[in-house]
Structure 1
Amino acid sequence: MERPLAQKPSCFVKDFNMGAMENKSLNVFNTSLTLAREDTATDDDYERIEGVIGHEYFHNWTGNRVTCRDWFQLTLKEGLTVYRDQEFSADMGSRARKRIEDVRILRAAQFPEDNGPMAHPIRPEKYAAIDNFYTATVYNKGAEVIRMYETLLGREGFRKGMDLYFERHDGSAVTCDDFRAAMQDANGRDLTQFERWYLQAGTPTVKATDSWDAETGTYSLTLGQKVPDTPGQVEKLPMQVPVRVGLLDRESGKELLSDTVLELTEESKTFELKLEEGATGKPVPSLLRGFSAPVKLEYDYSDEELSLLAAFDTDSFNRWESMQRLGSKAVLDAFAADDVDAFQPDAGFMDAMKRIVQDRVTEDLSLIAYALILPAESTLMQEAKPPIDPTRLHAARNRIRKVIASELKEDLQKRYEELTPPEDEPYVIDGPSASKRRLRNVLLAYLCTSGDAKAAELCGKHFKRAKGMTDKLAAFSCLCNMPDSEEAKEAIEQFLADAKGDANVIDKWFASQARADVDDLMPRVKKLMEHPEFSLKNPNRLRSVVSVFISSPQFHLPDGSGYDFALEMIPKVDALNPQVAARMANGAFRTWRLLDEQRQKMIQERLAKLTQAGLSKDAAEIVSKMQA
C-alpha cells in the first residue's frame, strides 16, 4: 500500500551535494532547503523550500511510480517534475512573478550552457560521469519543453495527455518517446517533429519581421528560425516552436488581438492576422508572450514601442520583458561607448524607469521590483557581441545603475520611505508582505550605489531595524560593497554573532562577502577561506565562498588571478568531492569562448594544466569538453 505523502520519511543533512533527493523509501534534503525561520531565512529561501519539497514529493509519481528506462531519459522525470513544482508554486503565489523568476534562472544558467562547450540536448546521447547529467539543460530547459506541450495542446489537452501517460505507464520504466506518444495519442496530434527538442542542442533564434495593410486590416508576421551549431551537432533541422502573440494599438495601447498561438514548424513562415477592430496605425506586436518557447527572439523594437508594451501589455511577462530589453540596450550601449563612466542612457529608457518607480497601480509589487532590476551579467553575456571584456561589461551595468540612482533619487527615496514599515508592525511571511520587502530592498540597493557616507548610514539603519532575514541580508549585502565604512565593519561582526552557529546563516555571511562589488575581492576571498568557520569539506560552505567568487565579475580580472585561483582550487576540491569540483570547473570556464583573446589564452593555459592534474572522471569530463 502506498504511504501517504505526509507520512513518507525524510532526513535533513548539511553535508550534501544536492538540494534534495527523492529516494523511494527516504527523501533526503539539504538543510539549506528545509530549515527556515524568519530570522534565519529570506523570503526567497521560503519560496525555494516550498518548490524543492514540492518537487521531491511530486517525484512520487513522476520519477518513482513512472520512472526512467535508462539514464538518458533523465529529463523525463526531472524536466517534468520541475514543470510540476513550477506550476505548484505559481498556484501557491503569483503566477506572473513565478514565470519571470523561472525565465531569469533559465537565461542565467541554461542559455550559457547551450551557448558553450557543454551544450547538449535535454536527452543526451553519451556521458562519462552520470553526475554530470544533472544540468540546467536537463532540468530547466526540460521543463520548458514540457510547458510547450501545454502551449501547443492547451491546458485541457495537456491534462488528457498526462492522464493517459499515468494510465499507460504506472509502475513502469519508460522513455521520453512514451511521454510524447501519450500527449500525441490523447489529443490526436502529430508531434513527430517535436522530438527534435529532445535531439538537438542549442537555443534557437526566432527572428520576426512584419507588415501592415491598413486597407484590409491585416497584420502579417513573418517568423524565421535558426538552430545554432553546437559541439558535435551542425546543420540543425527546424524545430516545432509555439509563439504566443498579441497585438496592441500604437496610440492607445489597447489590445487589438488577444493571446494567439502560432506554430512555427519551418525555417520561415508568414502568418496573416486579420483585425476586426480598426487600428490607428501599424499595431505593436507582443511576441513570445509568457515566454512560450525557450528561444532567443529578434525583433527590431523601437524604444517607444518597448515603452508602450511595458506600460500597456496585458501579458505580465512581456511587460517585464520590455523593460529588460530597454535595460539591455542601455547597458550594451554603455559597453560600446568610448567612455563608459560618462555614458548617458536614452531619455526614453529613463522615462520608462521613472514610470515604473512611480507605479502605484500594479498590485503585485514584485513585478515592479523585477522591472527595476537590470538584466543579469550572465544574460548580457549572451546578448553582447564577442569578443567580450567581462569587467568592462560589469562597469557598463554599474554605470547605468548609478545614473538611475542619481537621476531618480527623489522618486526612489520617496517610494522607499512609503514602503518602510512602522517599528511596531509585525513581521508577516506571506506573498504580499514578501513582495513589499522585495521592492523596498531593490530600492535600497539603488540608493546605496553611491557608496558614500549617506548610503552607508541608510544601509546601517536598514540593517539594525530589520526584523527578518530578508531585510537584514539585503542591507548586509549592500554594506559588503562598502567594507571600509564603520557601518559595514559593525554589521560584519554583528551578522556572524547573531548567527549563533547556524550553518545556513553563516553560509549567507560568507556568500555576501564573496560576491561583494569591490576591487580587492580576490584577497578578501582568500582571507575568508582562512576563517575558522570555513571548510572545503562541507559542500554548502565551499559553494558559499569559492563558487560564489567564481561566478562574480572579479573572477575575470585581466591579470588572470581569478583563473589561477580556479586552477588551484579545482584539484583540491576534486580530491574531496568530485561532483562539486566538476560543477566548479563548468561554472568557471563555460563562457570562455565569448571572451576577449587575452582571456581566452589565459583560460586555455589553465585548462591544459587541469588536464594534467589527474582529476576524477567527473571533473576530467568537464575539462575535456571545455577544450573540445
Structure 2
Amino acid sequence: MDIRTQPLAAAPAPVLRADYAPPVWQVPEIALEFDLDPARTQVTGRLSVVRAGTGPLRLDGDGLTADAVSVDGVPADWTMDGDQLVIDLAGDAHLVEIRVTIAPEANTQLMGLYASDGLLCTQCEAEGFRRIMFFPDRPDVLARYAVRLVADRARYPVLLSNGDHVDSGTLPDGRHYADWRDPFPKPSYLFALVAGDLAVNRDSFVTGSGKVVELGIWVREHDLGRTGHAMHALKTAMAWDERVYGREYDLGVFNIVAVSDFNFGAMENKGLNIFNSRYVLADPDTATDQDYDAVATVVAHEYFHNWSGNRVTCRDWFQLSLKEGFTVFRDQQYSADQGSAAVKRIEDVRVLRAAQFPEDGGPLAHPIRPDSYIEISNFYTATIYNKGAEVIRMMHTMLGEAAFRAGSDLYFDRHDGTAATCEDFVAAMEDASGHDLGMFRLWYRQAGTPRVHAALDFDAPGGRARLRLQQVVPATPGQPDKQAMPMPLRIALFGEVSGTKLLPEQTVMLDGAHQEILFEGIGERPVLSINRGFSAPVTIESDRSAADLAFLSAHDDDPFARYEAMQQLMVDTLVDDVATGNADLTPVIAAVKATLADPALEPAFVAEAVLLPSEAYLGDQMPVVDPQAVTRAWDRLRGALGAELIADWRGVYAGMAAGGDSLEAAGKGMRRLRGVALGYIVASGAADGPALAAAQYEAAGTMTDRQTALSALAMTASAERDAAFAAFHARYADNGLVLDKWFQTQALAPRSDTIDVVERLARHPDFVMTNPNRLRSLVGAFAVNQRAFHDPSGRGYRFLGEMVVAIDRINPQTAAKLVPPLGRWSRFDAARGAMMRAELERVLGTEGLSKDVFEQVSKSLG
C-alpha cells in the first residue's frame, strides 16, 4: 500500500479535566422523528432548552448540515463555529427545532446512525449522537426522549428505540411508524434505534416487586436458534442484581439486538442494548466454551449498566471508569458466582496482565481518571475498565461486603437520575462505612503499576518472622514522581515442614513506601503467600526460592496464590533460560507433574495452573525484550514439559474425554484440560501428535474440541494442519463469526512463517476491511503474537503500519486501537526499536490522519 506523507500537522487541542464547566443550557425534553432510508435519512429534532448559565446555545455536530432551524416556531438566526451550531437566545426557555439529512450507508465509522447487513442501527457512545442531530452532546445533559421512527414497512418491518413502545401504525406508500417513550432522563450517548427485518426470541422476567418485564433478543431469522444462552444469561443477571445489589429493573421492556458491524462488544443504551453479534449468538457447533462464557459476561455487564451507568451516569468523560470500572467489577462478581470463582479470578488477572500492565508501563499510560484527551474513544482502555475494576475490588476488600453494599446503595440513592463523578462514588463508600479513603484516591490520580518487594526473615530461636515490604510506583509520562499508594495485601504463612498454615490469613494495609510486620509464635521456617486472591493490582517481587514456589504450588490453600506460585516458578525459570540458555527445568516439570496428579483439584484450575505464561508476558519481565531468546526459552520449556510428562498428558487426555458436550462447569473444565494436554502432546514432538489432533478435529462434537484441535495443529508443519484448515473454512465459509476464528488461529500460530501467512490472509477474499471483528481477528491477533510480529526483518511492523493507515480512512476508532503494539518500541533492542519508531513516524506523516490515530501515534513516539 502507498502511504502519502506530508509535514506533521499541528496537534489537535486536548480536552482538559481541569476545564470542566457545567452546561450553559439543559435539554430536559427532546422529541426526535426519523424518516429512515439508508441513502437519505431525514431527522427532525425538537429540543426544549432551559437556561442554566450565561451564554448562547451551542449544539455539537459532526459532519452535519442544518436544513432548517427555528426557535419557538420562527426561523432562527444561527451560525456555525467549527462543528457547533450556535444560537443567541434572549430568554430562559425555548423550543428549538432542527432538521438534518444524513446518509447511514456512507457511515463507515460505525458511529452515529449507520447501515449494517441490511439493518439501520446506532452507536452513540461516546460522541456519536452529534453525527445524528445537533445537540449538547455531553453526558451531563440529561433529557427525556420521545422518538418516532418512520420507514418502509417491507424493508424495515421492525422499528425499535429506547424505553417503552407506545404506538405504531401504517402510513401511505407502504410505510409505517413506531413511537417510543423513555420516561427516564438520559444523556445523548445512551440514545439508540434499530430498524430492520428481524426475528425475536421473546421471554419475560418478574421482578421482586411483581412487575412483569417483557424481554426480546432480536436477530436475523437464521440466527434465532442461537439466542437461548443469551436469554438465559439475561434472566440470571436480572435476578442476581436484585439479590446482590438490590437493583430492580425499571422499564416494562428490555430489548437486545445483535448486529454484525460494531466497534465495541456491546452498548448499554437504556432499554435497547445493541450488541456485537459475537456476544449474543452461541450454539455448540459454532461457539466455544469461552464464547459461551463471554456471552454471559457481556450480557450481564450491559444489563448491570442500567444502574451503574444509566440511572447514575458520568458527569464528564474523564469519569468513564465510574461506570465501567464499577460495572466490570460487578460482572466479575456475577461470573464468579455462576462457575468456579477461583478460575474466574485467574482469568481476570491474566487479562489485566496481558492488556493493562503493558499499558501502564508504556507511553500510553494514564490514570483511571485521566487529566486530558484528544479523542475520548482512545480512553476505552484496559486501564479504565480492568484496572478500574481492581480499584473497586480493593475498596470491597478494605470495607467488607456489608459496608460495600451499604456504600453502593447510598451512591445509587444519592445520585439517581444525575451525572456523578468518581469522587461521588468514593464519598458514598466513606459515608456509609466510616472509613477514611482520602489517600486511597491516589489510585484515581496516578498511573503506573506499583511494584512491591517482599522479604521474609525468620528468627528460629525466637520463633519470630519479620516481613519487610517496600513499594515503588514507577514514573509514567507526565508523572515522574509518585506517592506510595495504600493497598490491601492478603497474606498467610505456611510451615515448610508441616505444609499447614501457621497463622490465620490477615490483610495488611501497605500505606507507605516501607512497612514491617512482625509475626510471633512461628515454630518452623515459614513460606510466604502474599497478595492472595490478587487483592491488589501490583507486581510482587520476593526472595522466595524455586523450592518455596514449588512448595506453595502444592500446599497453598488460596487457589489464586497456588496458581501464582506455579506461574512465578515458570517465569523465573524462563527468565533464567533466556539469560543462560541452560536453566534447570526440573523444578517446573516436577511441580506440573504434582499438580496433574492431585485429585482434589478441579480440571479447570489444573488447566490454568499448568499453562506457560505467554511469550509477551515473559518479555515484560526483561529490561530489554529479546523476542528470539524468549521464543527459544519458551519452546524449550514447553517441549520439555511435553516430552518428560508425555505419559501424564496422555492419561489426562484420555481421562478428560468424559467431559463430552456438557455445558455445565465440570464439562467445560474437562474440555479445557483435555485441550491443554493435547497442546503439550503436540509440543512434545510425539510422532502421533498431528494425527491425534486431526482425529479430535474430525470427531469433535463441539466447537471447543474442534477449535482446540485446530489450534494444536496450527503450530505444526503437517499435512493434517493444511487439511483441517481447509475443512474448517469449507464448513463455515458463510458464518462470519466462526470464520473470524479461522483467521485468528492462523494469526496467533507460534510459527516462523506466520508473517507470510498473515500477509496472504490480508489478500483473502473473505478479509474485509469494513468489519471490526474481522480486523481484530487478523490484524489485532497478529500484533499480539510476539514471535511473529517482531520478525527481525521488520515486515510485521510495516504490515501493521500500512493496515492502520488503510483502516483509518474507513474507521478511525478501530485503527487507533491497533497502534499500541508499535508504541512499545523503547522496550526492544535498538534495531527493532528503530524500525518500530520509523513506522510510527511514517503513520504520523500520513495526509488526513484522524484525531484518533494522531493521538495514539504521537503519544507513542513521546
Q: What is the one-letter code of the residue matched to 2:590?
A: D
Q: What is the one-letter code of the residue matched to 1:526?
A: E
Q: Does 1:595 align with 2:828?
A: yes
- C-alpha separation in 2, matches of 1:612 and 1:494: 43
Q: Does 1:111 align with 2:349?
A: no
Which of 246, 249, 263 is equivalent to 1:17?
263
- C-alpha separation in 2, matches of 1:181 and 1:18: 31
Which of 65, 79, 91 is equivalent to 2:325?
79
- C-alpha separation in 2, matches of 1:589 and 1:4: 48
Check conservation: 1:112, 1:378, Cα contact below 8 A: no
Bigger Rg, which one: 2
1:358 aligns to what? Answer: 597
- Alignment CA distance shift 1:504-1:107 (3 Å): same
Which of 182, 195, 203 is equivalent to 2:449?
203
Deviation for aligned residue 1:316: 0.4
Q: Does 1:297 align with 2:540?
A: yes
1:494 aligns to what? Answer: 727
Deviation for aligned residue 1:591: 2.3
Check conservation: 2:772, 2:814, Cα contact below 8 A: yes
Q: What is the one-letter code of the residue matched to 1:582?
A: A
2:160 aligns to what? Answer: none
Q: Does 1:510 align with 2:749?
A: no
Q: Does 1:94 align with 2:344?
A: no
| Structure 1: gaps spanning 5 or more residues | none
Q: Does 1:308 align with 2:554?
A: no
1:625 aligns to what? Answer: 859
Higher mean alpha-carbon deviation, 144-153 vs 517-526, is at 517-526
Q: Does 1:40 align with 2:277?
A: no
1:233 aligns to what? Answer: 479
Q: What is the one-letter code of the residue matched to 1:518?
A: R
- Alignment CA distance shift 1:150-1:554 (3 Å): same
1:320 aligns to what? Answer: 563
Check conservation: 1:289, 1:315, Cα contact below 8 A: yes
Q: What is the one-letter code of the residue matched to 2:682?
A: C
1:470-527, Cα deviation, whole Å (9 max, x unpaired): 0100101111222x42211221121112215111111111111122222111221121
- C-alpha separation in 1, matches of 2:302 and 2:751: 38
Deviation for aligned residue 1:567: 2.0
Question: Where do residues 129-278 of structure 1 align in structure 2 (5 Å cutoff)?
Answer: 129-275=375-521, 278=522
Deviation for aligned residue 1:413: 1.1
Q: What is the one-letter code of the residue matched to 1:407?
A: E
- C-alpha separation in 2, matches of 1:59 and 1:5: 18
Check conservation: 1:160, 1:186, Cα contact below 8 A: yes
Q: 3-state SS of the aligned residue for 2:503?
A: strand
Deviation for aligned residue 1:33: 1.1
- C-alpha separation in 1, matches of 2:539 and 2:496: 24
1:334 aligns to what? Answer: 577
Deviation for aligned residue 1:166: 1.4
Deviation for aligned residue 1:426: 5.4
Q: What is the one-letter code of the residue matched to 2:648?
A: D
Identify the structure with the greater strand proportion. Answer: 2
1:73-120, Cα deviation, whole Å (9 max, x unpaired): 000000000000000000011110100000000000000000000000
- C-alpha separation in 2, matches of 1:410 and 1:115: 41
Check conservation: 1:81, 1:143, Cα contact below 8 A: yes
Q: Does 1:551 align with 2:789?
A: no
Check conservation: 1:114, 1:203, Cα contact below 8 A: yes
Deviation for aligned residue 1:428: 1.2
- C-alpha separation in 2, matches of 1:82 and 1:237: 27
Q: 3-state SS of the aligned residue for 1:219?
A: strand
- Count residues with an aligned counterpart: 614
Check conservation: 1:345, 1:400, Cα contact below 8 A: no
Deviation for aligned residue 1:181: 0.6
Q: Does 1:541 align with 2:774?
A: yes
Higher mean alpha-carbon deviation, 449-458 vs 515-524, is at 449-458
Q: 3-state SS of the aligned residue for 2:475?
A: coil
Which of 630, 644, 652 is equivalent to 1:415?
652
TM normalised by structure 2 equals 0.70
- C-alpha separation in 2, matches of 1:80 and 1:392: 40
Deviation for aligned residue 1:38: 0.4
Which of 612, 620, 627 is equivalent to 1:390?
627
Higher mean alpha-carbon deviation, 123-132 vs 488-497, is at 488-497
- C-alpha separation in 2, matches of 1:209 and 1:411: 36
Check conservation: 1:5, 1:57, Cα contact below 8 A: no
Q: What is the one-letter code of the residue matched to 1:405?
A: G
Q: What is the one-letter code of the residue matched to 1:383?
A: Q
Q: What is the one-letter code of the residue matched to 2:632?
A: A
- C-alpha separation in 1, matches of 2:559 and 2:594: 16
Deviation for aligned residue 1:450: 4.3
Q: 3-state SS of the aligned residue for 2:405?
A: helix
Q: 3-state SS of the aligned residue for 1:394?
A: helix
Which of 833, 838, 846 is equivalent to 1:613?
846
- C-alpha separation in 2, matches of 1:147 and 1:4: 31
Deviation for aligned residue 1:258: 2.4
Q: 3-state SS of the aligned residue for 2:366?
A: coil
Question: Where do residues 476-487 of structure 1 align in structure 2 (5 Å cutoff)?
Answer: 476-482=710-716, 484-487=717-720
Q: What is the one-letter code of the residue matched to 1:607?
A: L
Q: 3-state SS of the aligned residue for 1:576?
A: coil
- C-alpha separation in 2, matches of 1:611 and 1:496: 37
Q: 3-state SS of the aligned residue for 2:426?
A: helix
1:283-322, Cα deviation, whole Å (9 max, x unpaired): 1111010011010111111111111111111100000000
Check conservation: 1:150, 1:158, Cα contact below 8 A: yes
Q: Does 1:560 align with 2:794?
A: yes
Deviation for aligned residue 1:216: 4.8
- Alignment CA distance shift 1:466-1:203 (3 Å): same
Q: What is the one-letter code of the residue matched to 2:425?
A: F
Check conservation: 2:650, 2:681, Cα contact below 8 A: yes
- C-alpha separation in 2, matches of 1:151 and 1:400: 37
- C-alpha separation in 1, matches of 2:585 and 2:746: 34
Deviation for aligned residue 1:211: 2.2
1:380 aligns to what? Answer: 618
- C-alpha separation in 2, matches of 1:533 and 1:601: 34
1:40-80, Cα deviation, whole Å (9 max, x unpaired): 00001111111101000000000001111100000000000
2:705 aligns to what? Answer: 471
Higher normalized contact order (CA 8 Å, seq sep 6+, divided by chain length): 1
- C-alpha separation in 1, matches of 2:640 and 2:833: 32
Q: 3-state SS of the aligned residue for 1:225?
A: strand
Q: What is the one-letter code of the residue matched to 1:578?
A: P
Q: What is the one-letter code of the residue matched to 1:624?
A: S
Q: 3-state SS of the aligned residue for 1:349?
A: helix
Deviation for aligned residue 1:387: 1.8
Check conservation: 1:419, 1:436, Cα contact below 8 A: yes
Question: Where do residues 398-413 of structure 1 align in structure 2 (5 Å cutoff)?
Answer: 398-413=635-650
Check conservation: 1:327, 1:374, Cα contact below 8 A: yes
2:584 aligns to what? Answer: 345
- C-alpha separation in 1, matches of 2:351 and 2:536: 15
Check conservation: 2:715, 2:749, Cα contact below 8 A: yes
Higher mean alpha-carbon deviation, 509-518 vs 431-440, is at 509-518
Deviation for aligned residue 1:381: 2.1
1:447 aligns to what? Answer: 681
Deviation for aligned residue 1:215: 4.8
